[in-house]
Amino acid sequence: MAQQIIGILIAALLSQNFILVKFYGICPFMGVSKKIDTALGMGMAVTFVMALASFACYWVYQLLLLLELTYMQTVAFILVIASIVQVVEMFLKKMVPALYKALGVFLPLITTNCAVLGVVLVNVAEGYDVLISTVNGAAGGLGFTLAIVLFASVRERVDKAECPESFKGFPIALITAGLLALAFMGFSGLSIF
Amino acid sequence: MEIVIAIAFLGGLALIFGLVLAAASKAFYVEVDPRLEKLNECLPGANCGGCGYPGCGGYAEAVLNGEAPIGKCASGGAECANAMAAVMGVEAGDVVRMVALVKCSGHRTYDEHGNQTGGAKLKGNYEGFKDCLAASKVGGRGPLVCKYGCLGFGSCVKACKYDAIHVVNGVAQVDREKCVGCMSCAAVCPRQVITAVPYEKTTLVPCNSHAKGAVTTRSCSAGCIGCGLCKKICPEDAITVVNGLATIDYEKCISCGLCATVCPKKIIVDLNEAPPSEAMAKAAL
């Protein structure tokens, strides 16, 4: 059990990173990575949503299995994820208005963040139990946080660097993302147990 | 039967989540100051950015937080300021209506053979992209001999949301009645030839040339040479000559028009003497 959890953590953080290896959730990765602060906030929000969605979707999937409705899994999961994002949005608006403002339109867009739906579908496909599912969700979110914070710190530095006029802004960010993904590919052989 | 189960299950799931969300929206309800909405209603909603805030919403929020004074909205004018003051429960104070002024009189005139007879002289014909910024990059600061004047490719015309600025004979001209003073035109002008002047003041110096008198004379038939006659005659000491250009201090100016009468180059315009377009055209000749 402990072995499996550690294996999942390493896979989700490094060798199977949701963003840089599996290319899920690129939209907030490019959109909210201009500042480390907001990137960290986004990462935390996504981690929370992913863990909660993994937990909730496990039970929803059990119900679907019971009723032999597994072909409806995608619709049901989207329903769960959308609801959770709504609650998180309300919570942040009340409790952390600064983060709510900084995340802006990307907060409701977590709903359509494919990393969230992706992790839930992976959980189901791999047949994880509730604990492992939740750990996988949280670890996937942490992997997202790691990637987006790394990327945001590189972008903050690149913003100040001299760069050809035609590459300024988004183009250089895309190149940076590509190089970062390349670096993470170096973890691909990494597996324990 | 299967369909009924599927609908019932997903419907039930949605209902549960709906109820949870309804409860959450009550638990996490954030109160919005009702004055914010009222302030937004007072503002024209053009989002011109003339106040220096990101759109009307941004300005309304700044006023509500006490960060911005009332009356920054040039396009709303006094009416808007009074309405906003009523919402905030304070006095509006005087709002001076500002309008844009293109500080250039180099309207080009030609004789019947197409030879230029007046206005700002051209170095050559610019055949490129019809945009002031683009034109200002080629041939050493653009096609005009004068380094300060209006290029007349109409970047300001495109920027104006109120159809208040047009290019006439190669120089942009402001329709003072339509202008709301948002200064969007000034923001896009690569030569910074557009400034804001109070609407009530009728003496204007539509020239931007900081070059020496002889240089100005060679480059344009309608340029301020900085002779200082206007400064001498001004009863209120409102005019100074800064870097070879007469500059009116509108705090002091009483719009008497004396400066316009003595100006040897007829650069200073008195709008009381002639309607703006005619006065400007006269100045150009």
Complex confidence, ipTM? 0.74
Half-sphere exposure of A23 (CA within 13 A, CB side): 6
Residue B101, beta-bridge partner list: B195
Find out whether B171 and B156 touch, Cβ atoms under 8 Å.
no
Q: Which residue from B73, B17, B76, B20 is spatially nearest to B49, judged by alpha carbons? A: B73
The answer as to whether A193 is a domain residue is no
Contact at CB, A90 and B25, closer than 8 angstroms:
yes
pLDDT exceeds cutoff 80 at B137: yes
Sign of the alpha-carbon dihedral angle for A131, A132, A134, A135? positive
Distance CA B10, CA B27 (A): 25
Please tell me the number of Cα atoms within 13 Å of B132 on its side-chain side.
Answer: 26
For residue A192, the model assigns a pLDDT of: 62
CB contact (8 A) between residue A94 and residue B10: no
The range of the structural domain enclosing residue A70 comes to 36-184
Q: Are A77 and A60 in contact (CB under 8 A)?
A: yes
Q: Is residue A21 part of a domain?
A: no
A chain contacts of residue B24, beta-carbon cutoff 8 Å: 86-87, 90-91
Class of residue B256 by CB neighbours under 10 A (exposed 0-12, middle 13-18, buried 19+): middle
The total number of residues written for chain B in this structure: 285
B-chain CB neighbours of A63 within 8 Å are 9
Prediction pTM value: 0.53
A111-145 pLDDT tens trace: 778 889 999 999 999 889 999 999 999 999 999 99
Q: Which residues share a beta bridge with A48?
A: none
How confident is the model at residue B277, as a pLDDT?
Answer: 52
Note the pLDDT tens digit of each residue in A58-77: 999 998 898 888 888 899 99
- For residue A67, list chain B residues with Cβ-Cβ distance below 8 A: 5-6, 9
Give yes or no for A90 touching B (CB within 8 A): yes
Which tens digits make up the pLDDT trace of B227-251? 888 988 888 888 988 888 899 998 8
Q: Minimal Cα–Cα distance from B11 to chain A, Å?
A: 10
Tokens standing for residue A162: 């001299």
Structure token digits, residue B84: 């906003």
**Residue A170 and residue A172: Cα distance in Å, rounded?**
6
Q: How many domains does chain A have?
A: 1
Count Cα atoms within 13 angstroms, Cβ side, for B278.
Answer: 6
Fold of B34-88: 3-methyladenine DNA Glycosylase II; Chain A, domain 3 (1.10.15)
CATH numeric code, B98-284: 3.30.70.20
Across the interface, of B10, B17, B27, the residue whose CB is closest to A83 is B17
Contact criterion met (CB < 8 Å) for A75 and B10? yes
CA distance A124 to A135: 13
What tokens appear for B83 in the block? Answer: 């309405």
Q: What is the dihedral of CA B176, B181, B185, B190, to 10 degrees?
A: 110
